[in-house]
Amino acid sequence: MANYIKIKAADINVANQLSDVILSDVTAVYQGLANGDASADKWTVYAGGKSYLFTTTAKGKEWANQFIFAATANPGGPLAIVQNSTGVKITDIVVA
């Protein structure tokens, strides 16, 4: 896995979130909620001992897969960037 995974600010539509998002120490990525419930709108990343719940309306599966691809495309590389091909931006991020 790449050491850091970046989501570009251009792919985020959350009030007052104007910067890129960088995550490291990713241990799990999947479509749905942190409790395991599936959701077409949400996907979860576990990284650095925290869970990150992202909302991407009707594109949870696609975004999760894009994040997984970015994380595994450059093993050991310093940085991988999630390439959003869905046309849907992230509309909410919850960190727990």
User: Which pLDDT tens digit goes with each residue over 23-34?
Assistant: 999 999 999 988
Which residues touch 88 (CB under 8 Å, ≥6 apart)? 56, 57, 58, 59, 62, 63
Prediction pTM value = 0.92
pLDDT exceeds cutoff 80 at 15: yes
Over 90: is that where the pLDDT of 18 sits? yes
> What is the rounded distance in angstroms from the CA atom of residue 35 to the CA atom of residue 21?
23
